[in-house]
Amino acid sequence: MDSSTPKPATVSRALVAQLHQSQIYRDYEKAFRETTGLPINLRPIETFDLPHSGAPNENPFCALMANTNQSCAACLQLQRRVETEARFEPKTLKCFAGLCDSAVPVRVGENLVAFLQTGQVLLHRPNKPEFTQLARKLISFGVKTDMKRLEETYFQTRVLDKKQYEAALRLLTIFAQHLASLSNQLMVSAQQVEAPMVSRAKLFITEHQDEDISLRQVAGAVNTSAFYFCKMFKQATGLTFTDYLARLRVEKVKNLLLNPHKRISEAAYAAGFQSLSQFNRVFRKITGEAPTVWRTRLQRQA
């Protein structure tokens, strides 16, 4: 692949960020959650994290499992399998606890650009013998947790019969087709409107946003002077390089903080901020509120 050609994962992240902001996705996401009671997430490719962590309709049992290193690792392994096996058609897999997790590919032509995911459900009523067997397995994993609370949440797991769950997946499959069409429009629009230099610069910034990158580095990466780059980038985006990078990092922090167990300081450094004072100042400037206030409001809405 040519060094100037964007990586599929980079293109996917940029597209998914735009799709998340679209009205059609926000409307569908809300309708799907309210109608089915299930979680839903649109994810870029090659994103191996827990898809529904901290999200509305997250299964309380899965949330507890995410707190333990051993079971969390098992869930991440399942995500790798889901991404591998759902590249061409919808796929449902079961985790070690017997819960179903499903992914529907969003494809533009021959290219896989994203996944729609849902799940954390049982397709039969849970029973005591099953939980006893599960508890033994967790103990053998070395998991230390409140088993009474775990049992309570396990029996609170959403139960659907196979026909109901397949209907929910058909809804996702139909919506994936709409998202594919919208993704194609966004890709064509970006190619037509944006100068290649600006597109390459955006991709470079996205790939290196968690590093201490400078304007001169980005200008060098797209083979132009810092002065010319500043002028063209501001014309194309309406933002200076510094403001664009700050907004990109703040959005990454917001995504990381969907995980209720992620500390704000960890998210800030992971997104590329060099100090907490800088992060707090930039976050407040862009969002209008402190990070702690934003997170508290997010948790109340969940």
Q: How many CB atoms lie within 10 A of CB 35?
A: 10
Alpha-carbon distance of 187 to 209, in angstroms, equals: 21
Q: What is the pLDDT of residue 55?
A: 82
Alpha-carbon distance of 278 to 26, in angstroms, equals: 31
Could you confirm whether domain 195-301 is CATH 1.10.10.60?
Answer: yes
Give me the phi and psi of 206, to 5 degrees please.
-60, -40
Domain residue ranges of the chain, discontinuous segments joined by +:
8-189, 195-301
The one-digit pLDDT tens for each residue of the chain (302 residues) are 444 456 788 888 888 888 888 888 999 999 999 999 999 999 998 877 777 877 888 999 988 887 766 666 777 788 888 888 988 899 999 988 899 999 999 988 778 999 999 999 999 999 999 999 998 888 887 777 788 999 999 999 999 999 999 999 999 999 998 898 888 777 766 655 567 888 899 999 999 999 999 999 999 999 999 999 998 888 887 789 999 999 899 988 988 887 888 899 999 999 999 999 999 999 998 888 899 988 887 766 55
Pairing of strands 111-121, 100-108: antiparallel
CA torsion angle 211 215 220 226 (round to 10)? 180
Q: 220-274, pLDDT tens digit by residue? A: 999 999 999 998 888 887 789 999 999 899 988 988 887 888 899 999 999 999 9
How many residues does this entry show for the chain?
302
- Using CB atoms within 10 A of its CB, is residue 146 exposed (0-12), middle (13-18) or buried (19+)? exposed
Alpha-carbon distance of 18 to 282, in angstroms, equals: 22
Residue type, 253: V
Q: 128-147, pLDDT tens digit by residue? A: 999 999 988 888 877 777 88
Q: What is the pLDDT of residue 1?
A: 45
Q: What CATH number does the domain located at 8-189 have?
A: 3.30.450
Q: CA 285: distance to chain centroid? A: 24
Q: What is the pLDDT of residue 6?
A: 65
